[in-house]
Every structure is written in C-alpha cells, then in structure tokens.
Amino acid sequence: MKKKETEKLLRELTDVCAPTGFEGPVRAIVNQHLYPLCQDISVDGIGSLIAQFNTRHDSKPNVMVAAHMDEVGLMVKYITEDGYLKFQTIGGWLDQALINQRWIIRTKKGLVKGITGIKTPHVIPAETRGQIFKKEQMFIDVGASNKEDAVNRLGISPGDPIAPDSLFTNLNGGSLYLGKAWDDRIGLAVMIQVASNLRGADISNNLYLVSTVQEEVGLRGAQTSSYLVEPDIGINLESGVAGDYPGSTLDESQEKLGEGPAIFLHDSSMIPNLKLRDFVLKVADEEKIPIQFDVLSGYGQDGAEIQRARGGSPSINIAIPTRYLHSHNGVISIEDFDNAVKLVTSLIQRLDADTVREIRKFELE
C-alpha cells in the first residue's frame, strides 16, 4: 500500500466517532474494505464482524486474526436543567485526561461538538489549584441555553455515545502519526492491509478476519466471535504500550516506536503459547523483521478470549507500539505498521495443517 493510501485508511479509521458499544460506523468501514476480498461476511449477535477470507475446507486449520473496533469514550448520563451534559466513562480513563478536552457526541440529529469545562485559575483558591478534578465534578458544555435546547435543537439524549474530537495527522513530516483511537484502529488497519496482500493467494488454512466489539469493557466481542469461528490458532492485533518518553520506565513497558511490532510475553489477561511465540520469532527472523517484547503487569486484550475458546486455542498478541494510550491523542510509527503487516502476512502464509498441528501439540512429561 502506498503512503497516501495508508494515510487515507488510517485517517478513515481513527477520525470516526465509535466508542465501546457504538461501533457501527467502524463496522461499516471495515466491511467496505473487506467485502471485495473475502468469501463471506457475517455479524454475530453483539456486533462483531466475521470475515471468512477463503472457502472453508475441513482439512485445513482455522486461523483467527482479530482486532477490536471500539475506542474508549463516554456516554451521556443526563442533561442538567442548564443544558450541560453529565457523563459516564466507557473504558479506562485517567480523570486528568478528561478535563478541558473537545468531544464529539453522536445524536439522532447528527454530530454535536462539546468541551469539558474547567474553572479559570482566577477563581480557584491557591491551596486547591494543584488538585486533580474527579470525573464526577466534570460536565460537557455543548453551547445549549438549557435542557430543552439540548434535547430539541441538538437532539441529545441520555445514552448517546461521546468520543474524543481529535483528528489524524502526520506529526511534522516524519514517520510518526498523531491521532485518537489507535487502540485499536491500528490493529484493524493492519488486518485490512494483510487481507489486501493476500488477495488471490492460495493459503493453507481457513482464514477468519474478525473485527470485535466491546473489547474495552471485558473482551466481550472476542468471546462471542471466537465461539463461532472455532479457531485452531489465534493472532490478536493490538496497540502496544510504548514507554519511550520522559517519565516512563522499562519496568512499566519495554516497547519503543520504530523498533518493530511487539510480542506480549505477559499481561493480566494472557500468557502466549510458547510454540506459537517461537514460530512467530522464526518467521520474523526469516523475513528480517525487527521484533520487540513487552512484559506488562496490567493490560487485557482479545487474545485471552480467543485462547479460551471452546477447547482452547494457542494464541498470541502482536502489537504496534503506541504512545499515550487511552487519551485524546496517541502516536504511532508507520515503520512499525509496515513491519506488522509484513509479519502477519508471512505468518498466515506459513500456517498449514502440519505447522498448526505441531504448535497445538503438548508433550506429556
């Protein structure tokens, strides 16, 4: 994919407003890209998109590649009599990341802009200026004159989704890109490009490209979709936790932008299958793709649900390092994206029945 085409895809995926539970606009974009490349596309009972890439044969193993469509966001809780919005957070936010930020509210009348207000320091007592405001103290100002104006003119209702108002851009002409929702629109972009690379290829597995919902609130879409796919191997594509900026330590994260996709060796939801890990490293070495590792104490990702599907499935999490996750703006490297696409494409091409059988085999000591 050429640079301009890649940028167009990334902008298309990141700029759209689609928090957890409201993934419809992203599902439409992914479907538009995958429909010409896949044999069949369906949607499960909670909204995950399951794209069957090639004709299924019982003699071939099922390989499930997944990335989630949702982003962290907010939901309208209620509207005050003065026309301000109180909200519920959806997904893991730090309270200090919410204050004085621009937002987009998806309403029945269209998109509405708003901002989380903040008191001017002129009226805050000196002894309390350094305190962090709690989200319960915050509100969103949409420019409404009162509650009736917010409801009738702007079309705002309780339950409406809210996402950061942050637009995609190249970061000053280099290889880095700034945008919201890299978690996990970057994984979707990798998946779409892999499908494009494999167009017309005769691959030795039944490939399923799955775009999941509600990852940020409990990996829910991965649970339902992996039950339907019945994967023999799971490859989850995620945004990684870059730690290459001031204030972050190696104990917190070991990823750096521009040094290749990362393999998660540990997070709070999953430990990867060791044979699958070694297979990924072997392929990366053969293709001369740089790889880095991350061992995290927290984090959770869809690979954990794929791993637990039915009788269990060897799974791994491959991530594109990302700075400043779960905030209005994140940063990724296009070099890491390109290398992740190359790696996943190569993995799929090599996952034949014998290879999958060997990965799935456990020795009895």
The C-alpha atoms of residue 137 and residue 163 are separated, in whole angstroms, by: 19
Contact 66, 236 (CB under 8 A): yes
Residue 255 annotated to the active site? no
State both tokens at 28: 């439409």
Count the Cβ atoms, other than its own, within 10 Å of residue 112: 22
Report CA-CA distances (Å) from 31 to 9, 24, 38, 196, 340: 13, 10, 10, 13, 21
Task: Please state the φ and ψ torsions of residue 274, each to the nearest 5 degrees.
Answer: -70, -35
Exposure string (b/e) for 202-225, b if CB count within 10 Å is 16 or more? ebbbbbbbbbbbbbbeebbbbbbb
The C-alpha atoms of residue 15 and residue 57 are separated, in whole angstroms, by: 38
Q: Choose, from 12, 23, 71, 215, the residue flagged as catalytic.
A: 215
CA nearest 181: which of 162, 197, 204?
Answer: 162
CA nearest 176: which of 319, 19, 329?
Answer: 329
The C-alpha atoms of residue 128 and residue 93 are separated, in whole angstroms, by: 22
Hey, which residues are catalytic here? 215
